[in-house]
Structure 1
Amino acid sequence: MSVSIECQKRPEKSNPRALRREGLIPATLYGHNGAESISLTVDHKEATTLLRYAKVNETLVDVKIPDLSWEGKALIREVQAHPWKRNLYHLSFFYQANPTEA
């Protein structure tokens, strides 16, 4: 089963709380271009569905960013959530140049 998610580029100086009120979760993609990172947003429902099927640091996810015409495989490196309410705060993805099957 292939796990994928579509992200959008996050507007400059956008407030993360305002994004969450709009139903978007802030995210970051690391390692796609050396030490650079991209600030992204993910739809809350898509992120929740993704986390139902993917495990942190184990599952390769197809990440698509139509705004930048970029797509590739990445691991979910970190999930930030409220300790007991389980509200998502932030997702971190790490690009995998040569994905291997685990």
Structure 2
Amino acid sequence: MSDQLTLSAEVRERAGKGASRAMRREGRVPAVIYGDKKDPEPIHLNERELMKLLHTGHFMNSLVSLTIGKDKTNALPKDVQFHPVNDRPMHVDFLRIGKGASVTLAVPVNFINEEESPGLKRGGVLNVVRHELELTCPADDIPSEITVELDGLEVGDSIHISQVKLPDGVASAIDDRDFTIAGVVAPSALKRDDAEEEEEGVEGEEGEEVAADEVPTTSQGDGSEGGEEES
């Protein structure tokens, strides 16, 4: 389960672009909490505290406990808007999470046991198709990552979502196909060598055919021309 993050917040009394700009000059970031069949709640956050959580690398797939005065609200970050020049956070959207709710979000994949893959040991390359998986899981039990084992994989083998053991209560949000997560492919150098060998083999066969075509046929003269000259 991913660690629950915490943030202190204050109710945003004023709305509008002018008020938001004033907050940012004071080191505050406007935000809003919506969902759970309740009215949207405008708030503002401390920019430094928010930046610390953003730098954890898993802010967008973690449940955040927002402390607003004496109240606490569990919410999931849904969107962060950044300044196009300085990358400072400009606004944050939070989805309010009720008790017993489920959420759909991207969870990172962690590949392990590369040394147990015969294909990788022989020089194969791990081709990762999906670095994250879209999963539906309980809001209070979000996995921090999904572990995928590479044991026994040969060159040409692939791992599909059906082969991955997901935690209890967690399911793939994509349920209409058995999609590929990763596979072991031959290195480009090996592919080039195989292609060159195949090309050389074809050229050798063509050379043999040409040589066979160039063999002269032996014809025996009837000597008639020679007899005429002697006469």
TM-score by length of 2: 0.40
Provide the residue aligned with 1:16 in structure 2: 20
Letter in 2 for 1:5: L
**Once the 2 structures are TM-superposed, how far is the Cα of residue 2 of structure 1 from its aligned partner?**
3.2
Residue segments in structure 2 that go unaligned for 5+ positions in a row: 101-138, 143-231
What is the letter of the counterpart of residue 59 of structure 2?
A: K
Match of residue 5, structure 1, among 4, 7, 10? 7
Aligned counterpart, 1:38: 41
CA distance in 1, matches of 2:55, 2:15: 30
Greater strand share, structure number: 1
In the alignment of these two chains, the number of paired residues is 98
**Which of 39, 49, 52 is the matching residue for 2:52?**
49
CA shift at 1:87, angstroms? 1.3
Task: Compare relative contact order (CA 8 Å, sep 6+) and give the higher one, 1 or 2.
Answer: 1
The residue number in structure 2 matching 1:100 is 140
Amino acid in structure 2 at the alignment position of 1:22:
E
Cα shift readout 1:34-92 (whole Å, capped 9, x = no counterpart): 14111101011011012122332x111111101xx321211111000023421110011
Equivalent position amino acid for 1:7 in 2:
A
What SS does the aligned partner of 2:23 have? helix
Q: Cα RMSD (Å) of the superposition?
A: 1.7
In structure 1, the gaps of 5 or more residues are: none
* Alpha-carbon separation, structure 2, partners of 1:21 and 1:55: 24
Deviation digits for residues 1-48 of structure 1 (CA, Å, limit 9, x no counterpart) = 33100100012246101110011000101125x141111010110110
Q: Write the distance in 1 (CA, Å) between the matches of 2:59 and 2:65.
A: 14
Partners of 2:49 and 2:59 in 1: how far apart? 15
Structure having the higher Rg: 2
Instruction: Provide the C-alpha distance between the structure 2 equivalents of 1:83 and 1:47, rounded to a whole number of angstroms.
Output: 18
The alpha-carbon distance between structure 1 residues 37 and 62, as it changes in their structure 2 partners (threshold 3 A), is: same
- The counterpart of 2:33, out of the listed 26, 29, 47, is 29
Q: Percent identity?
A: 26
TM-score by length of 1: 0.84
Q: Does 1:81 align with 2:85?
A: no
Instruction: Classify the secondary structure of the residue corresponding to 1:47.
Output: helix
Q: Detail structure 1 runs of 4+ shifted over 6 Å in the superposition.
A: none
